[in-house]
Structure 1
Amino acid sequence: MTSIEPFRIDIPDSEIDDLRARLGATRWPAELPGVGWDYGIPTGYVRALAEYWRTGYDWRRHEKALNAIPQFMSEIDGQRLHFAHIRSAVAGAVPLVLVHGWPFADFRELIGPLAHGGTERDAFHLVIPTLPGFGFSGPTTRPGAAATERSAALIARLMARLGYDRYGAQGGDAGSFIAPELGRIDRGHVLGVHLNDPITIPAWDDDGTGYTDADRDKLAALRDWSSNGTSGYAGIHGTRPQTLAPAVTDSPAGLLAWVLDVVHTYMNPAKVLPEDAMDIDALLTAISILWFTATIGPSMLLYKESGAWGAAVTDSGVPTGVAIFPGSTVIRGVAEKQHTVVHWSEYDRGGHFASMEAPDLLIEDLRGFFGALR
């Protein structure tokens, strides 16, 4: 498939029935009393949410909403690439690719305001790809195909295929590796790069000289990252993804627990539960897509295969904007070494999943950053 073809989501009734049956037949483990989240996600919490997923959540309603967004499929270098493409009717709109991370990012709250709202200075043509290994892009078929570097190469070719000669890139989480890589490999076509809560990995010999006290504290915490409990999931993804994959591919309750524990770890720390930070149906829609496409296992491969994570980073020279949200571990000194940072914002609400936790603030920041570059 060298062309671009329309795509529509249509999950068979039998798969929805199977999901509900599996949720209803879950074998729940015993749970220690009074430990809260100290031992990981509480079983009682997952159990209650699994029951809502089984009996209260309406996949068909959300499938219809997703299908209202123009979606397409293309094949690039042997990889299926699913993407949404929303053309603005505003003259002078700037093409902007929005890049998700792991396990997902729901950009739906951004689409209307960015594509159809505001003035000419505020409008964008939006391209929202699903990364290789995730969702409707399907699994990868060879080692290395899930690496963030390869995703950047595929997205650059997609933007060219769509006829966009000049475009912006935005990303958070794993997308904060992919968006800057677009600036490096497609510099002549990338107008600017915007990052929310980028992952800043310092060089091994970085001792924090010249950093602020806050940055030095974050650097020390990052050095201790592997022992503070929050990195456990990444350690498994980066070393034994195929070992975990059968459990979370076969059990929707296991998938729910695994994903929501990560969401809870990185969401706005002022919130208690994931549904306090973002819409629970949006979370379940994203998790349902991973379930119906059986791509939770392939999605984890980017941790194993991405060579840029921890490697020396070359600054592309492309103007870069950074938006910081509560709970961020971003080290500004590292970000400024790795990118040409011309815009820096810090917000007092939202979190790591900014497009779902504080879409209005992310929209504001995108407009401000790219507005200055037009």
Structure 2
Amino acid sequence: MIYGVNGLDVHVLEAGYESAGRPLALLLHGFPDLAYGWRHLIPMLADAGYHVVAPDQRGFGRTTGWVNRYDTPLAPFGLLNMTRDALALVSALGYRRTAMLVGHDLGSPVAAYCALARPDVFPSLVLMSAPFPGPPAFPFDTAQSEAPAAQANNDNQTLAAALAALDPPREHYQQYLSARQANDDMWHPPQGLHAFLRAFFYVKSADWPGNKPHPLQGRTATHLAQMPTYYVMDLGKTMPETVAPFRPSDADVLSCQWLTEAELTVYTQEYERTGFQGALQAYRVFSDPELNAELRLFSGRTIDVPSLFIGGKSDWGTYSAPGALDLMTTRATTRMGAIELIDGAGHWIQQEQPVRLSQLLLAFAREAGGAHP
């Protein structure tokens, strides 16, 4: 289905809409996923009595209305505008509130700002794979300070220089994804788009035995360099070059039930058609402090609705931003119920372990006390 919201024609996958009066479950995907990434979970939640809606987010898949160029204003891809996308979709569907809001990866901060800005519409929250450390804060009690207020945050530039100075030189994946060449690198990789996507999904899953995530002591170059190269890349290598050595064997591909070749072909065909630039715009926003300045509107605010964090035990995403998990539980939220790490799941939890995920979501929805079947 296609719905017109916030200047977009939003493509959604949905189930359970045939029966009136069902509570709404809204599922927000991440990168380089699509609404299709929820395909295993959608029928499970619909069978439990929900009207389940999973949109292709702004910049992704069959949602249109955004500009597919590198040289374009990035404000439409800011977190607050993507939050408006979600709010407008709920309204367009004829709902006053969601009964379940789930955000994975890039969808996690979008979902977090939904609950932060409009708890009346989003009265419970589930974050997956990407902990939310809270909104950026204004400097406090600086009026009488002799030092001028801090200007643009240069932490990212300092970290990039420190990573480049390592032996061998490294580069954070978000810096790479923000660069002009990233779209063409991934859209037209030497091994072919299908082979690139297969390796990318595989190396970030529990199927790759090299994933042994653990908390990092700090956001320094030496600590971040402990992560696999798909997170902290060898400087000068493209993402397709980075994941190519880890492409699974033919036997591994045949045995992969959570992402069959036919299912992966859906991703291949979509990205062959669109390229990756729209999906990459949000990373450019994340890396630019000026584009994130509007988030300080929520400086000091906490998420006060019942919340849950779900990660995969084999997913580095839980720890890729050192300190974010602790900040989420101690400062950013006031009603975080649990941290659930799922066995047999890497980054693609909703594809790798949908049955266990559905159990956790349905139990949390009952405990949160909102509308549910």
TM-score of the two chains, using structure 2 as the length reference: 0.65
Provide closer, same or farther for how the CA distance between residues 322 and 247 of structure 1 changes in structure 2, counting only shifts above 3 A: closer
Q: Does 1:134 align with 2:60?
A: yes
- Structure number with greater CO (CA < 8 Å, separation at least 6) is 2
Contact 1:247–1:254 under 8 Å retained in 2: no
Q: Does 1:287 align with 2:268?
A: yes
| Structure 2 equivalent of residue 303 of structure 1 | 283
Once the two structures are superposed, the pairs formed by residues 232-243 of structure 1 within 5 Å of their partners are 232-238=172-178, 240=179, 242-243=180-181
| Structure 1 equivalent of residue 327 of structure 2 | 334
Shift of 1:145: 1.8
| Structure 1 equivalent of residue 348 of structure 2 | 353
Distance 1:156 1:128 in 2: 13
Q: Which string of whole-angstrom CA distances, capped at 9 and with x for unpartnered residues, describes residues 42-85 of structure 1?
A: xxxxxxxxxxxxxxxxxxxxxxxxxxxxxx22333322221123
| Structure 2 equivalent of residue 77 of structure 1 | 6
Distance 2:266 2:2 in 1: 20
Once the two structures are superposed, the pairs formed by residues 22-171 of structure 1 within 5 Å of their partners are 72-87=1-16, 93-105=22-34, 106-116=37-47, 122-138=48-64, 140-141=66-67, 142-167=73-98, 168-171=100-103
Provide closer, same or farther for how the CA distance between residues 154 and 260 of structure 1 changes in structure 2, counting only shifts above 3 A: same
Q: Give the SS at the match of 2:123.
A: strand
Q: Does 1:317 align with 2:255?
A: no
Q: Which string of whole-angstrom CA distances, capped at 9 and with x for unpartnered residues, describes residues 229-264 of structure 1?
A: 9964422212x1x32323443558453455445434
Provide closer, same or farther for how the CA distance between residues 198 and 246 of structure 1 changes in structure 2, counting only shifts above 3 A: closer
Distance 2:41 2:89 in 1: 21
| Structure 1 equivalent of residue 237 of structure 2 | none
Distance 2:134 2:314 in 1: 19
Q: Give the SS at the match of 1:346.
A: strand
Q: Does 1:186 align with 2:118?
A: yes
Q: Give the SS at the match of 2:77.
A: coil
Distance 1:139 1:247 in 2: 24
Q: Does 1:244 align with 2:165?
A: no
Provide closer, same or farther for how the CA distance between residues 157 and 231 of structure 1 changes in structure 2, counting only shifts above 3 A: farther
Once the two structures are superposed, the pairs formed by residues 178-257 of structure 1 within 5 Å of their partners are 178-200=110-132, 232-238=172-178, 240=179, 242-250=180-188, 253-256=191-194
Uncovered stretches (5+) of structure 2, i.e. residues with no partner: 68-72, 138-158, 211-247
Shift of 1:327: 2.4
Provide closer, same or farther for how the CA distance between residues 252 and 129 of structure 1 changes in structure 2, counting only shifts above 3 A: farther
Q: Quick check: which one's helix share is greater?
A: 1
Shift of 1:144: 2.1
Provide closer, same or farther for how the CA distance between residues 308 and 359 of structure 1 changes in structure 2, counting only shifts above 3 A: farther
Distance 1:369 1:231 in 2: 38
Distance 2:129 2:193 in 1: 25
Q: Give the SS at the match of 1:135.
A: coil
Root-mean-square deviation (CA), in Å? 3.4
Q: Give the SS at the match of 2:51.
A: strand
Provide closer, same or farther for how the CA distance between residues 232 and 315 of structure 1 changes in structure 2, counting only shifts above 3 A: same
Shift of 1:270: 5.2
Opposite residue 323 of structure 1, the aligned amino acid is I
Opposite residue 128 of structure 2, the aligned amino acid is N
TM-score of the two chains, using structure 1 as the length reference: 0.64
Provide closer, same or farther for how the CA distance between residues 285 and 232 of structure 1 changes in structure 2, counting only shifts above 3 A: farther
| Structure 2 equivalent of residue 263 of structure 1 | 201
Contact 1:90–1:123 under 8 Å retained in 2: no
Distance 1:79 1:204 in 2: 28
Aligned length: 278
Q: Which string of whole-angstrom CA distances, capped at 9 and with x for unpartnered residues, describes residues 319-359 of structure 1?
A: 11112211233454222122231233222221211111111
Q: Give the SS at the match of 1:349.
A: coil
Contact 1:80–1:132 under 8 Å retained in 2: no
Provide closer, same or farther for how the CA distance between residues 229 and 301 of structure 1 changes in structure 2, counting only shifts above 3 A: farther
| Structure 2 equivalent of residue 49 of structure 1 | none
